[in-house]
Amino acid sequence: MPDREAQEHASEPQRRGWWFEDYAPGQVLTSAARTICEADVHAFAGLSGDFNPLHVDAAYAERTAFRGRIAHGLLVESIASGLIAQLGIFDGTIVALSEARSAFLGATRLGTTIHVRLEVLSVDEAPSSSRGRVQLQKQVFDAEGKLLVEGEWVVFVRRDRSRRDLGTDAEAGASEVIQ
């Protein structure tokens, strides 16, 4: 359960599924918070096959520079992605995640509560009239405000509002991005 302070900092969009025209440089969204627990680490280790003792062996991890277990960096990224998805801005309007870059700036210990700050850096029209390119800065913070992960996402988002209910547009747009 997110803590009260993190909930007060969360910003939910007024509507779900932002169209390309809804994005403007400088817009900032903050996700709800989520605590990374031991079950998350074990489930991620099982899913990914990454059983590095730094993540799953308390005795081993105590002897490292971290002085205890830490979450997988990609687990933190995955949870951050889910927190962004919960904002709802991509519901029914995202065509594709084109790029994702991240720098891991701090270890995330088990029991750490994180939230994501997302800022629109730029918006560019794509060659297709049905979508546009949105560049986002993603920052993952702990409850004390320490920056743990920083990176950027580039997404393609639908432009034509009349296409909201067409499921085939996302598939067609995704193939355009890859080509």
Domain ranges of the chain: 4-178
**Comparison of pLDDT for 114 and 7, the residue scoring more:** 114
Given this model, what pLDDT does residue 82 score?
A: 97
Given this model, what pLDDT does residue 126 score?
A: 65
Give yes or no for residue 61 having a pLDDT over 80. yes
To 10 degrees, the CA torsion angle through 77, 80, 135, 99? 30
Provide the whole-model pTM: 0.81
Architecture of the 4-178 domain:
Roll (3.10)
Give residue-wise pLDDT tens across range 86-111.
999 999 999 999 999 999 999 999 99
Alpha carbon 78 to its chain centroid, in Å, reads: 7
> Would you state the structure tokens that stand for residue 80, as one six-digit string?
């951050």
Given this model, what pLDDT does residue 135 score?
A: 98
Q: Mind spelling out the 3-state secondary structure of 21-47?
A: HHCCCCCEEECCCEECCHHHHHHHHHH
Q: Which of 53-62, 80-89, 119-128 has the lowest mean pLDDT?
A: 119-128
Is the distance from CB of 52 to CB of 107 less than 8 angstroms?
A: no
Strand partners, 141: 115, 147
What three-state secondary structure class fits 134? strand
> Would you state the structure tokens that stand for residue 46, as one six-digit string?
């099982």
Given this model, what pLDDT does residue 161 score?
A: 55
Give residue-wise pLDDT tens across range 126-167.
666 789 999 999 999 999 999 999 999 999 999 865 544 444
Given this model, what pLDDT does residue 129 score?
A: 75
Give yes or no for residue 3 having a pLDDT over 90. no
Confidence of residue 14 (pLDDT cuts 50, 70, 90): low
Distances (CA, A) of 43 to 47, 76, 95, 102, 136: 6, 13, 29, 22, 29
What's the whole-number average pLDDT of the chain? 86
Across the range 68-85, mean pLDDT stands at 97
Given this model, what pLDDT does residue 165 score?
A: 46
To 10 degrees, the CA torsion angle through 86, 87, 89, 93? 10
Give yes or no for residue 39 having a pLDDT over 60. yes
Give dist(CA 36, CA 38) in Å, integer. 7
Give yes or no for residue 20 having a pLDDT over 50. yes
Give yes or no for residue 177 having a pLDDT over 70. no
